[in-house]
Amino acid sequence: MFKSLVPAAAALLMSSSAFAETSVSSVDVTVDLTAIKNESAAAYYTSIEEDLETAIVAKLTDQLSDDGASVVVDIDELSLANSFQSVLGLEESELAGSVSVNNLNDNSEHQAYELTVSYLPAPIVFDPGEDIVIIRRDTTDYYIQMVDTFAEHLTEKLK
């Protein structure tokens, strides 16, 4: 599986302390058009809201409840590299956004933080005269990996 071959680095910025398992009643993802940082990422603009919502809900199935918290994600950056750019270190793939968790029934379940996941390829060093074989990964692979990793880190904070 792609995930085990290429780990994504994730950083939680301004993160609040961990809470007990949070029941969730709704997930809403929005993307600002200015969040799209390159042409490759623009191709995914129309589907990222649904893709990320689906990934988050799939990881929270045992925590869904009618009277749970609402999770709101506002994506502020999406950039995607292709294999060639990543191998040469010309560009990285990144998905970043603000996460807000609000529960009108339980004030202890309020959270707000920034979450960023990125694909940072390991540097490759070749000896002179060595044959070069590049395993191509499509931009779609980077996108799927980052959406899954973003959802994984978000849902871990809700457990």
pLDDT in tens, 110-142: 889 999 998 765 555 566 776 655 544 567 877
CATH 3.40.50 fits 2-157, yes or no: yes
Say what percent of the chain tops pLDDT 90: 38
Q: What residue spans of 6-138 are helical by DSSP H?
A: 39-42, 45-59, 83-88
Eight-state DSSP code of residue 63: G
What's the confidence (pLDDT) of residue 153?
Answer: 95
Phi/psi at 34 (5° precision):
-70, -10
pLDDT(7) > 60: no
